Amino acid sequence: MKNPLDDIDGVGPKRKKALLAHFGSAKAVIRANLVDLKAVEGVSDAMAEIIFNHFQQ
């Protein structure tokens, strides 16, 4: 099964692991708000915006 995080440019194995560790699941990452995404270690503000915007489409 493909993880939805795999479709985002700039989210490699390290960021994916950090996001999943912080939120617990890909579904939780999808539902996360921008402030929560920015709080993840290893995710810059710009990357958090890319992730957030990807799932808002």
For residue 56, the model assigns a pLDDT of 92
Which structural domains are found in the chain, ordered by start?
4-56 (1.10.150.20)
Question: At 13, is the secondary structure helix, strand, or coil?
Answer: helix
pLDDT single digits (tens) 16-44: 999 999 999 999 999 999 999 999 999 99
Is the whole-model pTM more than 0.95? Answer: no
Residues in the chain: 57
Reply yes or no on whether the pLDDT at 49 is more than 90. yes
Q: What is the dihedral of CA 11, 16, 17, 23, to 10 degrees?
A: 140
Reply yes or no on whether the pLDDT at 1 is more than 80. no
For residue 41, the model assigns a pLDDT of 96
For residue 12, the model assigns a pLDDT of 95
